[in-house]
Amino acid sequence: MNKGAKIGIAVVCTALVGVAGVGAYNVYDSLSGSDEKSPKVRTVVAEAPSADLAAAGAKAFLEAWAKGDLEAAGALTDKPDTATATLRAFQDKVKPSALTLTPGGTPTAPASPSAKASASASASASAAASPSASAPTGTEVPLSFRAKVEFAGTANAWNYEGRLGLVKMSDGKAAVHWAPNVVHPKLDSGESIAVKPVFAEPAMVLDRNGKPLNFPSLTPALMDRFKQNASGDPADAGTGVVIAKDDGTGTADKLFTITDPKPAASLKLTLDGKLQAEAEKAVAAASKGGTLQASLVAIEPSTGHVLAFANAPTTGQNRAFLGAVAPGSTMKVITAAALLEAGVKPDDPVPCPAGLNIAGQAFKNDFTEPHEDWKFSQDFAQSCNTAMIKKGMEVLKSGDMEALAKDAFGIGPTWKTGMLLAPAKAPAPSGENQRAAQLIGQGSITMNALTMASVSATVQSGTFRQPILVPGAEQQKAEKTLAAGTLQSLRAMMNLTATSGTAAGVMNGITAGAGAKTGTAQVNNQANDNSWFTAYRGNLAVAAEVGAGGHGADAAGPAAAMVLKLGNG
């Protein structure tokens, strides 16, 4: 049982084996004393074991588990290999100095597991186990047990109530029907229980200026996530038993505190209270009081710090980070960057035809008349779909734009922002019509306001800096930076859009040192298009989107402009 094992060392979780259905399992006849060399297979029968038989099966399983004979304990279940692996993972990761398992009776009513028990009086609680996987209806006898897990170096013991389901096997004996929640009622497939460092939750979450954050979009649930994920100096950590997903997603669920962490100071985020207040007002106006879904994100290009994010409605999902919809013509910032990198110049003649047909799919513009005399910069500023598609198909190879999105703008790999995030996707196109659609931000491309704010931030600063919400957090780097000439031309084209293009109306008065791009996206045949806008002004980049908001300059543009006017000062 690894008595005397040290605690408080960070443990890397490995995957636990999932639960399969009841059926024929290789359970050896050695359980009944047979000396046959070849194991006989026993199966779960469609008959419940008697109370005495179930009690005996539970007692034998708990005794074997408690004394560390995990092979024997696993053999007393209907899934020996899986059970043994799960029990061994629990032992290796929790490292108890002693384990006491006491059989009980019929399980008590569901309840949440207790938090830390005191040294003198342990607190136990029952928790509902999820139904045993694939157990034949009416054939499982539920029994409870009490677990006491002790740790070296402390008198604190972790107490909890567990649940077993006993089934009858074809050899006449009872076996534990195996599921991960046999180990602990909260344990599920794809999760592990381990001892890890734990930190005290900060008393308050503050903005970058040390002021409290009390805004509609920053819901208590979101702020609690920051508190739960806060990590400080390792010297301040305590130790605790936690359940975490094996793939690293989500927030670890602390089951028990072994040693107390030191009290934590308030957590300061990168957010700016003044910009956050303006973002809230901007999104409320753009969403028509919350009747439309909308989001906005503001980023500091020089650092990647997220200065504000707001959502409408405020009671829904964090759309600013979890949105995953086509960005429309705001994606032309990246398409234009790819064309510039390929040698196209802003003053090159690039006609804007009224329509195109690519592999049987028709593409058109927001305006009906052709502009055969336009230059590339005009195509960009006026958001000509047909010009961008035609030139992109002529100059770029399939997948070039999407590769640049990843390599220079950091789009694709998962960002660790400090908040749950739906990663942006810009996959390589599967056909010519999808290739054409993705050049103008449709097809299989999905983004959110955070990603598109980062795109403008990258153009403004010249370097991709992964957005973060906690100062000093690790930031993923892009594989390359855009060429100096590309950046100069792209900034000039975005400024042209802000001064005399589709963004001129909303950017009026704030065009110095600024650039913008509007976007209109068709999504799922909805009646009204989604409105997108991405822009920068000085050391501030903003993106906004409004579902069914229409043209980019109609709804998202005014919202972004409100925040840009306030500035990052």
Per DSSP, the residues of 340-353 read: HHTT--TTSB--B-
Query: Nearest-5° angle of CA 511, CA 513, CA 518?
Result: 55
Euclidean distance between CA atoms 336 and 343, whole angstroms: 11
- Please measure the distance between the N-terminal and C-terminal CA atoms of the chain and give it in whole angstroms: 59
Question: Tell me, what's the pLDDT at 139?
Answer: 85
Tokens of 529: 């298009």
Euclidean distance between CA atoms 55 and 404, whole angstroms: 64
Burial readout 480-513 (b: 16 or more C-beta within 10 A, e: otherwise): ebbeeebbebbbebbbbbbbebbbbebbeebbee
Q: At what angle do helices 273-286 and 556-566 cross, to 10 degrees?
A: 160
Q: What count of Cα atoms within 13 Å lies in the side-chain half-sphere of residue 349?
A: 4
- Evaluate whether 113 touches 183 at the Cβ level (below 8 Å): no
**Which residues 6+ apart lie within 8 Å of 121 measured at CB?**
none
Q: Which of 180, 224, 454, 441 is nearest to 320 (CA)?
A: 454
Tokens of 172: 């006449």
Per-residue pLDDT of the chain in tens (569 residues, 90 and over written 9) = 333 322 222 222 223 233 333 333 344 444 444 444 555 788 999 999 999 999 999 999 999 999 999 999 999 999 999 999 999 999 999 999 999 999 998 776 543 333 333 333 333 333 333 333 444 445 899 999 999 999 999 999 999 999 999 999 999 999 999 999 999 999 999 999 999 999 888 878 999 999 999 999 998 778 877 776 666 678 888 999 999 999 888 778 999 999 999 888 888 999 999 999 999 999 999 999 889 999 999 999 999 999 999 999 998 889 999 999 999 999 999 999 999 999 999 999 999 999 999 999 999 999 999 999 999 999 999 999 999 999 999 999 999 999 999 999 999 999 999 888 999 999 999 999 999 999 999 999 999 999 999 999 999 999 999 999 999 999 999 999 999 999 999 999 999 999 999 999 999 999 999 999 999 998 888 889 999 999 999 999 999 999 999 999 999 999 999 999 999 98
**Which residues 6+ apart lie within 8 Å of 36 measured at CB?**
29
Tokens of 313: 């409605």
Question: Tell me, what's the pLDDT at 229?
Answer: 67
Cα distances from 324 to residues 105, 226, 251, 295, 493, in angstroms, run 49, 22, 21, 12, 27
Residue 220 burial (CB count, 10 A): 7
Question: Tell me, what's the pLDDT at 114?
Answer: 35
Euclidean distance between CA atoms 282 and 556, whole angstroms: 9
pLDDT in tens, 391-434: 999 999 999 999 999 999 999 999 999 888 999 999 999 999 99
10 Å CB burial of residue 320 (0-12, 13-18, 19+) is: buried
Question: Tell me, what's the pLDDT at 231?
Answer: 62
Question: Tell me, what's the pLDDT at 220?
Answer: 79
Euclidean distance between CA atoms 170 and 516, whole angstroms: 72
Q: Which of 352, 442, 355 is nearest to 391 (CA)?
A: 352
Q: Indicate the pairing of strand 205-206 with strand 267-268.
A: parallel
The most distant pair of C-alpha atoms in the chain lies apart, rounded to whole Å, by 92
φ/ψ of residue 347, rounded to 5 = -90, 5
- pTM for this entry: 0.69
Backbone Cα Rg of the chain: 30
- Evaluate whether 146 touches 124 at the Cβ level (below 8 Å): yes
Question: Tell me, what's the pLDDT at 232?
Answer: 66
Length of the chain: 569
Bridge partners of 194, per DSSP, are: 242
List of E strands, 313-420: 355-358, 361-364
pLDDT in tens, 189-226: 999 999 999 988 887 899 999 999 999 999 877 887 77
